[in-house]
């Protein structure tokens, strides 16, 4: 499956780099939506959700450990690195292209028990806060996510949210390794476009989620090196 993606480096915020970007409306070009195997959307909730508890969380305090898992097998094109959030049954998924290790695709998998359901293409505004555990420094910016895929099972609706960009792996590693220990909080809010100006809490059971990003740098670095080494050996053969 051949796709042309736009590779974007994160923007700077107050002279510091951020993991996500906030491009102006005029230069936003969405990539074709990458849909993982549908079973992934359910497995991350049905199989693992049994040991997840809802935790109270002060964003100024140390978050509970986030356990990042790596999956090489379920997708032929992507290495999947993902973790449940600390607050609820939501997942941050980072996918590395097996053929081009410097390409990262980042998605949110959201679970909702809300009565209202929105269609593919529906947009949210995401407020992203990156808060260091050492000191009072933080970065606060906004990004746009849209529903790339959704499906209902019983009382739950599963959403795959995408921001439409492919990121540079080395750039993400530079930011992660240079940021030390920090947590990332994502708050999904109403989009400013009147077409999507619907109360987010009527669509999503939980609009806020938090991940401890501390261990991600080491995991992403290891997978990046293994991916490059494998591709290098294939070229030589």
- Summarised one tens digit per residue, pLDDT across range 114-129 is 989 999 999 999 999 9
Element (H, E) at 189: strand 182-189
Nearest to 139 by CA among 59, 195, 209: 59
- Strand, coil or helix: 221: helix
Dihedral of alpha carbons 62, 207, 122, 43, sign: positive
- 0.85 cut: is pTM over it? no
Report the pLDDT value the prediction gives residue 57, as an integer from 0 to 100.
42
Tokens coding 70: 């790596």
Separation of CA 3 from chain center? 20
Alpha-carbon distance values, 98 to 78, 101, 104 (Å): 5, 6, 10
Burial 100-125 (b: 16+ CB within 10 A, else e): ebbbbbbbbbbbbebeeebeeebbbb
Report the pLDDT value the prediction gives residue 205, as an integer from 0 to 100.
93
Report the pLDDT value the prediction gives residue 111, as an integer from 0 to 100.
92
Alpha-carbon distance values, 50 to 46, 54, 102, 177 (Å): 7, 11, 34, 32
Report the pLDDT value the prediction gives residue 131, as an integer from 0 to 100.
92
Phi (first) and psi of residue 148, to 5 degrees = -90, -25
Mean pLDDT, to the nearest integer, of 210-215? 92
Report the pLDDT value the prediction gives residue 217, as an integer from 0 to 100.
94
**pLDDT exceeds 60 at position 16:** no
Distance CA 206, CA 204 (A): 5
**pLDDT exceeds 70 at position 150:** yes
According to DSSP, residue 169 is labeled H
According to DSSP, residue 198 is labeled -
Neighbouring C-beta atoms of residue 168, cutoff 10 Å: 15
Report the pLDDT value the prediction gives residue 75, as an integer from 0 to 100.
87
Report the pLDDT value the prediction gives residue 135, as an integer from 0 to 100.
79
| Residue pair 78/197 in contact by the 8 Å Cβ criterion | no
């Amino acid at each position: 499956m051949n796709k042309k993606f736009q590779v974007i480096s994160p923007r700077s915020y107050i002279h510091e780099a951020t993991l996500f970007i906030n491009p102006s409306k005029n230069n936003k070009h969405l990539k074709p939506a990458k849909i993982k195997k549908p079973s992934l959307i359910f497995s991350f909730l049905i199989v693992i959700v049994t040991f997840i508890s809802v935790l109270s969380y002060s964003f100024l305090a140390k978050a509970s450990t986030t356990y990042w898992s790596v999956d090489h097998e379920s997708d032929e094109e992507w290495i999947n690195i993902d973790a449940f959030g600390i607050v609820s049954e939501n997942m941050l998924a980072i996918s590395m292209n097996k053929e081009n290790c410097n390409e990262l695709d980042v998605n949110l998998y959201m679970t909702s028990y809300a009565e209202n359901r929105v269609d593919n293409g529906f947009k949210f505004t995401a407020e992203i806060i990156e808060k260091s555990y050492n000191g009072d420094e933080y970065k606060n910016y906004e990004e746009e996510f849209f529903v790339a895929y959704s499906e209902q099972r019983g009382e739950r609706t599963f959403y795959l949210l995408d921001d439409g960009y492919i990121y540079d792996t080395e750039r993400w590693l530079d930011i992660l390794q240079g940021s030390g220990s920090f947590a990332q909080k994502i708050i999904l809010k109403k989009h400013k476009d009147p077409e999507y100006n619907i109360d987010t809490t009527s669509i999503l059971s939980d609009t806020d989620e938090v991940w401890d990003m501390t261990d991600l740098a080491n995991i992403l670095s290891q997978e990046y090196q293994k991916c490059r080494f494998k591709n290098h050996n294939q070229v030589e053969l």
